[in-house]
Amino acid sequence: MDRVLRLFWEHRKGEKNPVKTECMSGPDKLHEECGVFGIYNFDKSNIVPLMPFGLTALQHRGQESCGIAVSHNREVAYYKDTGLVSDVLTPNVILGLSGEMAIGHVRYSTTGGTGRENAQPIVSKYKKGTLSIVHNGNLSNGAKLRDELENAGAVFHTTGDSELIAFLIARERLHCGSVEEAVKRALPYVQGSYSLLVMSPQKLLAARDPNGFRPLCLGKKENAYVFASESCALDAVGAEFIRDIEPGEIIAVTEEGFRVVKKGEGTAHHCIFEYIYFARPDSVLDGISVIAAREKAGRLLARQHPVEADLVIGVPESGIDAAMGYSLESGIPYGRGFIKNSYVGRTFIKPSQNDRDLGVRLKINPLREIISGKRLVVVDDSIVRGTTCARTIRMLKNAGAKEVHMRVAAPPFLWPCYFGTDIPDREHLTAVKHTIDEIRAEIGADTLGYLDLNSLHELVGSKEYCHGCFSGAYPVRVENGNGSER
Amino acid sequence: MDRVLRLFWEHRKGEKNPVKTECMSGPDKLHEECGVFGIYNFDKSNIVPLMPFGLTALQHRGQESCGIAVSHNREVAYYKDTGLVSDVLTPNVILGLSGEMAIGHVRYSTTGGTGRENAQPIVSKYKKGTLSIVHNGNLSNGAKLRDELENAGAVFHTTGDSELIAFLIARERLHCGSVEEAVKRALPYVQGSYSLLVMSPQKLLAARDPNGFRPLCLGKKENAYVFASESCALDAVGAEFIRDIEPGEIIAVTEEGFRVVKKGEGTAHHCIFEYIYFARPDSVLDGISVIAAREKAGRLLARQHPVEADLVIGVPESGIDAAMGYSLESGIPYGRGFIKNSYVGRTFIKPSQNDRDLGVRLKINPLREIISGKRLVVVDDSIVRGTTCARTIRMLKNAGAKEVHMRVAAPPFLWPCYFGTDIPDREHLTAVKHTIDEIRAEIGADTLGYLDLNSLHELVGSKEYCHGCFSGAYPVRVENGNGSER
Amino acid sequence: MDRVLRLFWEHRKGEKNPVKTECMSGPDKLHEECGVFGIYNFDKSNIVPLMPFGLTALQHRGQESCGIAVSHNREVAYYKDTGLVSDVLTPNVILGLSGEMAIGHVRYSTTGGTGRENAQPIVSKYKKGTLSIVHNGNLSNGAKLRDELENAGAVFHTTGDSELIAFLIARERLHCGSVEEAVKRALPYVQGSYSLLVMSPQKLLAARDPNGFRPLCLGKKENAYVFASESCALDAVGAEFIRDIEPGEIIAVTEEGFRVVKKGEGTAHHCIFEYIYFARPDSVLDGISVIAAREKAGRLLARQHPVEADLVIGVPESGIDAAMGYSLESGIPYGRGFIKNSYVGRTFIKPSQNDRDLGVRLKINPLREIISGKRLVVVDDSIVRGTTCARTIRMLKNAGAKEVHMRVAAPPFLWPCYFGTDIPDREHLTAVKHTIDEIRAEIGADTLGYLDLNSLHELVGSKEYCHGCFSGAYPVRVENGNGSER
Amino acid sequence: MDRVLRLFWEHRKGEKNPVKTECMSGPDKLHEECGVFGIYNFDKSNIVPLMPFGLTALQHRGQESCGIAVSHNREVAYYKDTGLVSDVLTPNVILGLSGEMAIGHVRYSTTGGTGRENAQPIVSKYKKGTLSIVHNGNLSNGAKLRDELENAGAVFHTTGDSELIAFLIARERLHCGSVEEAVKRALPYVQGSYSLLVMSPQKLLAARDPNGFRPLCLGKKENAYVFASESCALDAVGAEFIRDIEPGEIIAVTEEGFRVVKKGEGTAHHCIFEYIYFARPDSVLDGISVIAAREKAGRLLARQHPVEADLVIGVPESGIDAAMGYSLESGIPYGRGFIKNSYVGRTFIKPSQNDRDLGVRLKINPLREIISGKRLVVVDDSIVRGTTCARTIRMLKNAGAKEVHMRVAAPPFLWPCYFGTDIPDREHLTAVKHTIDEIRAEIGADTLGYLDLNSLHELVGSKEYCHGCFSGAYPVRVENGNGSER
């Protein structure tokens, strides 16, 4: 299920009687940090109108804020705010900007009132001009690095990692001849995950961490190079997919053309959860089709956790493809179990205390006609806290389902992620505290089956991948000043 | 496909160089006029927070404007504006209103700048107080009626039928003892389709035209009666479905309770296109499940237009269920052919002349992985002008589809609708001007099959239905002052 | 003092703990109902950009809502909303409209949430097309008329008089050959005050009631005729003043040119309070300069209520000119007593219970330097409830004034106005309940003097005028269905 | 005249046909950089609602953007945006913040699209927590300092001086024990003008440069200390004036109370133009009443440039008090020459090329009644380019003035200001290029008299002051990296 509900009490300051609202996306689902998108047009014609297309295609990677920075004749302008791409990058904003080079960002954020300031791109003024940066990922040495830099006198405006990277690049640029060189010198200081676009007034650079945790790919549209977190954004602007940026690689596009500043190196450890949940099914990441990986997960589930049932359904949106895989492998027919309402806004006033499932039911309504009286296999991508899963199963049973056999297209979450996935504290992870049968009982399922950790590699063929959140085994050592290192 | 793209030139006055924008919903798709929703709470507790839930569940019936009128201790307040429910009925607006009775409306509209004034509810002041009305449907004698009333001195503020109905009710109310009686006396003057909620300061009335063209149902939630265009809106507020309002029936809910003011009569002629396209699959209208009707349409198509193929896909959203029916009947596997992006906003600046398919591709992107190299059966709900269908097929072929066999879950559109469906002028209907093979060639399909007009009744069992837009045979005589009568 | 403060408790529904706000305009000051402005351009070039200029110049006559209706090639478009002209008629709105004819309105309103619907222009659809109307005034037979029309079946959308006038014109138009004739036939039905602009798709009409209560004048700018409530709006668009519309006169501007449809008749009874308070000092109304009338009032006050003092100051804005008159007549020096802050917005959160004068002090701050240790003559235009006056005097004394001699440039308010001035109920008029010495004590003044009722005529030379709110003697019989007739 | 008009062509990118608008404030008037306001409440009750009162009272010092930073239990939140205080710090924003300590800012800015980012407070994260700063003034060594800091690796987010100061304080804080000490150590690095409020999570500091160029004063309201650029802001929140911050002084308010961190030192050189134009007449700055200084300027003008005339008028707003001084000294009667419209918004669409004076006339309309046929002495605060003055005189003559004797309450502008006044380049200063008689001819005056440079000191008694913009003699050496030093 792609975005679920959160019930929260918005205690407006200065009021004794808080208004209870329902926010239509929430903590019972994992969150990616961002999506990035950039264009360099050799034509010098205005490519700003393409930015909302590319960023809207990446909107599933972050819905809290977005922004673009644009360069026209070496002058940089930018616009960012909290809200969806369609709310922020309105026709008026797009008409007010012009440029032959641009980078953009969509962001998921936990911060409240200061969201606007933490939005990206980060645009910095330094000795050599203006540096704009968009970043997807998380620095595992971010806290330590910030500490060191602040000890050396650095002052920051945001609490994010991206400003650290910008600072390092600016620092190096003082001592070397080009921004390409500066990026090359700066990146060894940072550890963790980063898929990065850097725009100086005349150059566009792309870089990916040596593990290649987060995706980043390159496309071409007429005389323009296009970079995007996922290939679906290339489709959205009509660009042709060229290739993925290699782990550890740095690329520069300048007046002189396309150049590999630093060759890819190191062993890729792609985040397996990109395939299971984050990415769009129509994207191909590092050569692996997302929808194929999901269908494969469903097939594996069918083999690992067979059950006698009448119908396989998927929890929209990300459970659907795995459900179809389960159906194909098991021979149990696939059917639509829910109707998803795509018009649901961000916040509703909660009608009353009793209506605890209203928000979920507004977002996904069970198809009584299809499921009533049936023994169901229900496939979802993952279980975090378990509360949403419990609501979903309760709705299905209320709608007449005879049995609900829950199948989860991922292993249980047990460990934190240091590379950009916003996993709750361990105390909130249901699988940390409970046995699988306890979870089954709590969510109200008749049976429950998770994908086997040892079969995960089948999703991505022979590729290496990071499975730290399931296994606790990370591909790199984690040094995090705020004590969350293990 | 539920909402398609329109390319238009927004010629801003006073500018010689118009900005070209892409609007993400448009004329190549049929439009319903409205959805209605109302609540009467015997508890006297505030039910206003439920209104956004109910109306969001009906948002697919109209996205141009929305509004609610609320009654609290006989005082009526209202709020309406252009925009989606989530944009208009914000938490601030909902917190600012309170009432134990309310009616609401979502609207599709073709009018431009004056949309706000044409939004519903229509709230009128007259001799007996305030009358609020929401209306789904279209009066086939609207123009004639307006003419007669204006000749008699009536002055209107909108160009819509709903104000005519409000005027007639107010007129009758002067000569009779209750608003119930006034509604009963007024409705015989109007012909055509109406599913109507009328709110006087103390009473809530519901009425449906004698043909029952447009749906309207009744539910109950604790001590409140709930009326809604579709049952999915009852689900959304946690109300239990009671029954459909009968064609010709008038119901009043007052302090004394629920009362049938006028019994249902006449023969129902439900709009068949509600099942094919307008309604949500999880709704049950007049005893017929929408998803079942669509699956049935798909099965009929498989029988009427069999073809050898590798995969059946549906054009999201409304082609999907028929596609699954086709798959079940034919044995050809069903697969997801497109990913739909639900974050697409209303308007984009068109990047350039060459990018003609950008908007469609942003909204629905073909799943290359799934369709490449395959012979496809593609099911959509209908073809109006044919341009969107052509774009869709072009995208599929560009994505590697070997063959595209188009199957349409409705007969060809040939005639206007006088009962609330916004069908373009006949000159724009591709089926009026072309043979089926010409259409096939124009849209670029390998084969093309429409649902047989004579099999339509199988979708709705033994029920009567209106098929005027396909057959030209209407269940009632049409008198329309603006000359479109046949 | 032009607009004063109101403290009110905004009890937001659904909350037990209301937020206390300060609204920066309020009930302790009288309010005019409106200002009107219209242009007919023979050139057929777009005159819409002039509308914000004209209406901003009339903004002092109403700050609650505003709007314009525009006609271009017989097509009428309109835009209206709550807010100041600068908030509503933004560059985007003005660029989106075009026309060679337009009417506009600024409005003061007591209604709350439905303000947008009550805003003007009123645009009606009827047998003969579209009728747009803006109106300044009040019908003394409005309630009776509404009653009669509603009994005859009329349905209204607003609670205002303007819609009644529009209805009557539309009704007459059915039985006569032109809109000019219809206006001529309709106006005898209404009594009270009206300065009216009526726009049919091709004609612009102006009309004024037979008493000429409210002002209305005519100007010319190149090939365009311009109508405005006050001459200052002609200045603002660069139009030359031609003449005032005569009481009882109806004028039409059409393709054939300027025509007097009905000659002026009856005896003028201009509202004397327009000169004292409502109008702008730089306007000339019916041949009388407003600033001259105010200076005259000040001179009369000096003669009628002389006092020994050091300095004469005026309460901004409308007390200033009378204060200068008092100074000139008495020989006591004039000085600035207050600084007015013109940036004050509409609403502030009230900091705490104790800060009762914060809002007044933000709006007008006493000039301690000027007034400290002085015996002051303080001139204001009028006293309604007395509370604001008390605050003002308290501020002056706190700032060091030794004595405060209050002089009021009008007689005491004792009676209601039926012609467009929003005077509070008699129970709230301090002069109804108290002797002058009691008022003096309550407001904290050392002496208090009102302008003598019998000298009022000196303000306007030999002209007739209405002094009903001071004397209770109205120039016309008042028939008001809601019982307030005397 | 306080804010005048600018005509500019807003060339919206991507459009060939620009829309011509009139912006109602502009380059023909000098601009201050800012106003600051802060509160520290020992009570720990919420003082955020006071902030809009204080900042609205300082709105005349900057209308482009504003913002506040608030500290509650060591947690800092902030909100800033472009717009007036009433547009930005709305009731919703104020209700959403709470704190016992706050600083705020109003800003005039020349920057365009990035205004929001350059708005203050500047809120920085560094080693020791969060540092918020608001600043009125200009660093004369700003460019050099930025250069040095950037060479040492500093990265900035804005182009303003305030971020430099924040950086220096943060840098020093790393090497000393308290923020008080850090401010004390940091300020010697900066030269120029600064009236500064610094908020750490638990402390509020105020500092003023050793010349005391820009004003800053201290007040008390119950248990709270209040700092403000001008005393009128103390009045606006009901605080009592305590004293001015001394030049060179640093003050800290902490849990332990009020403490002078560094004693005042150096010789004050207050900006004389604060008295002539920037400050509000009801403010007392460094012991000198603004209105008294202006009246004095008028008296001096009367002595230095006597003339035979019928009436003295002032150009609103800042010319009025000098005009009254001229009148008192000369014996020529004072009168209101203009009505100022305080409802004028920011931007109007320019109606046509011919209407060159429309905007001015909308803002200030001559009182024909008063001035017609008269020989006028017209007093304004200053002449910059001369264009607005020419328009004003043209309006007066068109309104019937027989003679216009222009008197300017300041000497001619000849030199740049390095301390916070935004004086145009010398090539735009009319007095640089022309003799006084040439200027007289160009603006269309009959006679023209400036205030004598040598008499300026009489405005401020025996105080020292900065007259660099008139004399070219600055109280400190100016080192400005961008080459504007003389």
Asked if pLDDT for residue C9 goes beyond 70, the answer is: no
Tell me what the mean pLDDT of segment B182-188 comes to.
97
CB contact (8 A) between residue B14 and residue D19: yes
- Identity of residue A477: R
Asked if pLDDT for residue C416 goes beyond 50, the answer is: yes
C-chain residues near D355 (CB < 8 A): 238
Q: List, for residues C145-154, the tens digit of each pLDDT value.
A: 999 999 888 8
Q: Cβ-count burial of C253 within 10 angstroms (0-12 exposed, 13-18 middle, 19+ buried)?
A: buried
- CB–CB of B162/B135 below 8 Å? yes
CB contact (8 A) between residue A56 and residue B345: yes
User: Between the CA of residue C317 and those of C294, C301, C436, C469, D327, what are the distances in Å?
Assistant: 12, 18, 24, 22, 21
The catalytic position among C23, C34, C176, C466 is: C34
Which among D98, D125, D155 has the least Cβ separation from residue A124? D155
- Report the pLDDT value the prediction gives residue B92, as an integer from 0 to 100: 82
Positive/negative CA dihedral, D36, D37, D42, D48: negative
Chains in contact with C, where contact requires at least 3 CB pairs less than 8 Å apart: A, B, D
- Report the pLDDT value the prediction gives residue C2, as an integer from 0 to 100: 24
Tell me what the mean pLDDT of segment D355-366 comes to.
85
- CB–CB of C154/C175 below 8 Å? no
CB contact (8 A) between residue D113 and residue A77: yes
Residue of D nearest to C48 (CA): D351
- Residue with structure tokens 């249980």? A412
- Report the pLDDT value the prediction gives residue B233, as an integer from 0 to 100: 98
D369 touches chain C (CB under 8 A): yes
CB contact (8 A) between residue A14 and residue D114: no
CB contact (8 A) between residue D345 and residue C94: no
Distance, CA of C47 to CA of C242 (rounded, Å)? 19
Asked if pLDDT for residue D83 goes beyond 50, the answer is: yes
Would you tell me which residues 1-40 of chain D have a C-beta closer than 8 angstroms to some C-beta of chain C?
19, 21
Q: List, for residues C142-198, the tens digit of each pLDDT value.
A: 989 999 999 888 899 888 889 999 999 999 998 899 999 999 999 999 999 999 999
- CB–CB of B307/B340 below 8 Å? no
Local confidence band at C13 (pLDDT 50, 70, 90 cut-offs): very low
A162 CA: distance to closest CA in chain D (Å): 13
Would you tell me which residues 136-165 of chain B have a C-beta closer than 8 angstroms to some C-beta of chain C?
147, 150-151, 153-159
User: Between the CA of residue C350 and those of A3, C13, D91, what are the distances in Å?
Assistant: 40, 19, 10
C483 CA: distance to closest CA in chain D (Å): 38
CB contact (8 A) between residue A15 and residue C14: no
pLDDT > 90: percent of chain B: 71
Local confidence band at C457 (pLDDT 50, 70, 90 cut-offs): very high
Residue of A nearest to C18 (CA): A15
A-chain residues near B292 (CB < 8 A): 369
D15 CA: distance to closest CA in chain B (Å): 6
A-chain residues near D65 (CB < 8 A): none
CB contact (8 A) between residue D17 and residue B19: no
The catalytic position among A34, A232, A271, A466 is: A34
Instruction: Report strand pairing: D257-262 vs D270-271.
Output: unpaired
Distance, CA of B37 to CA of C111 (rounded, Å)? 27
> What is the residue-averaged pLDDT of chain C?
88
Q: How would DSSP label each residue in D324-380?
A: HHHHHHH-PPB---EEE-TT--SEEE---TT-TTHHHHHHEEE-HHHHTT-EEEEEE
- Report the pLDDT value the prediction gives residue A360, as an integer from 0 to 100: 83
Q: List the CATH code of the domain at A290-471.
A: 3.40.50.2020
Q: ipTM of this predicted complex?
A: 0.89
The catalytic position among B34, B217, B232, B469 is: B34
A467 CA: distance to closest CA in chain D (Å): 34
From B7-21, B41-55, B59-73, the region with the lowest mean pLDDT: B7-21
* Largest separation between any pair of C-alpha atoms in chain B: 72
CB contact (8 A) between residue D235 and residue C59: no
Distance, CA of B466 to CA of B486 (rounded, Å)? 16
Tell me what the mean pLDDT of segment B254-272 comes to.
93
- Report the pLDDT value the prediction gives residue A353, as an integer from 0 to 100: 66
C52 CA: distance to closest CA in chain A (Å): 22
C117 CA: distance to closest CA in chain D (Å): 23
- Report the pLDDT value the prediction gives residue A358, as an integer from 0 to 100: 83
Local confidence band at D118 (pLDDT 50, 70, 90 cut-offs): confident
D-chain residues near A79 (CB < 8 A): 113
Within 10 A of C192 (CB to CB), how many other CB atoms are there?
A: 23
Asked if pLDDT for residue D188 goes beyond 50, the answer is: yes
Token representation of residue B89: 């009925």
- Residue with structure tokens 């002028």? B425
Token representation of residue A113: 């009132």
Local confidence band at C27 (pLDDT 50, 70, 90 cut-offs): very low
- Identity of residue B289: S
B-chain residues near D19 (CB < 8 A): 14-15
Q: Is the peptide bond before D18 cis (omega within 30 degrees of 0)?
A: no
Token representation of residue B223: 């001590």
B-chain residues near D17 (CB < 8 A): 15-17
Q: Which of D23, D107, D108, D282 to mutate to test the interface with C (most CBs of C within 10 A)?
A: D282
A34 annotated active-site: yes
Local confidence band at C22 (pLDDT 50, 70, 90 cut-offs): low
Local confidence band at C352 (pLDDT 50, 70, 90 cut-offs): confident
Q: Spell out the SS3 assignment of chain A.
A: CCCCCEEEEECCCCCCCCEEEEECCCCCCCCCCEEEEEEEECCCCCCCCHHHHHHHHCHHHCCCEEEEEEEECCEEEEEEEECCHHHHCCHHHHHCCCCCEEEEEEECCCCCCCHHHHCCCEEEEECCEEEEEEEEEEECCHHHHHHHHHHCCCCECCCCHHHHHHHHHHHHHCCCCCHHHHHHHHHHHCCEEEEEEEECCCCEEEEECCCCCCCCEEEEECCEEEEECCHHHHHHCCCEEEEECCCCCEEEEECCEEEEEECCCCCCCEEHHHHHHHCCCCCEECCEEHHHHHHHHHHHHHHHCCCCCCEEEECCCCCHHHHHHHHHHHCCCECCCEEECCCCCCEEECCCCCCCCHHHHHHEEECHHHHCCCEEEEEECCCCCCHHHHHHHHHHHHCCCCEEEEEECCCCCCCCCCCCCCCCCHHHCHHHHCCHHHHHHHHCCCEEEECCHHHHHHHHCCCCEECHHHHCCCCCCCCCCCCCCC
C95 touches chain D (CB under 8 A): yes
- Would you list the domain boundaries of chain B? 4-268, 290-471
Tell me what the mean pLDDT of segment C77-96 comes to.
90
pLDDT > 70: percent of chain C: 90
Query: Count of CB contacts below 8 A, A vs C?
Result: 11
Which among A52, A342, A349 has the least Cβ separation from residue B49? A349
- CB–CB of C68/C85 below 8 Å? no
- Residue with structure tokens 């606007």? A116
Would you tell me which residues 258-277 of chain D have a C-beta closer than 8 angstroms to some C-beta of chain C?
none
D127 touches chain A (CB under 8 A): yes
Which among A151, A156, A170 has the least Cβ separation from residue D125? A156
C-chain residues near A17 (CB < 8 A): 15-17
Q: List, for residues B96-155, the tens digit of each pLDDT value.
A: 899 999 999 999 864 333 467 778 999 999 888 899 999 999 998 998 999 999 988 889
Distance, CA of C40 to CA of A314 (rounded, Å)? 65
Do the domains spanning B4-268 and B290-471 agree at the CATH topology level? no
pTM of the model as a whole: 0.88
Beta bridge partners of B254: B257
Distance, CA of B419 to CA of B411 (rounded, Å)? 18
Asked if pLDDT for residue D449 goes beyond 90, the answer is: yes
B-chain residues near A341 (CB < 8 A): 56-57, 59, 236
CB contact (8 A) between residue B77 and residue C113: yes
Length of chain C: 486
* Largest separation between any pair of C-alpha atoms in chain D: 72
Asked if pLDDT for residue B27 goes beyond 70, the answer is: no
Q: Cβ-count burial of D279 within 10 angstroms (0-12 exposed, 13-18 middle, 19+ buried)?
A: buried
Q: Across the 486 residues of chain A, what is the mean pLDDT of every consecutive 10-residue run?
A: 25 38 51 86 94 96 93 92 91 89 86 63 91 94 92 87 94 93 97 96 96 97 97 96 97 97 91 94 96 97 98 95 97 95 83 76 93 97 92 95 98 92 85 95 97 95 89 82 34
Chain centre to alpha carbon of residue A31: 6
In the CATH scheme, what is the homologous superfamily, with its name and number, of domain B4-268? Aminohydrolase, N-terminal nucleophile (Ntn) domain (3.60.20.10)
Local confidence band at C483 (pLDDT 50, 70, 90 cut-offs): very low
Chain centre to alpha carbon of residue B66: 14
Distance, CA of A106 to CA of A59 (rounded, Å)? 6
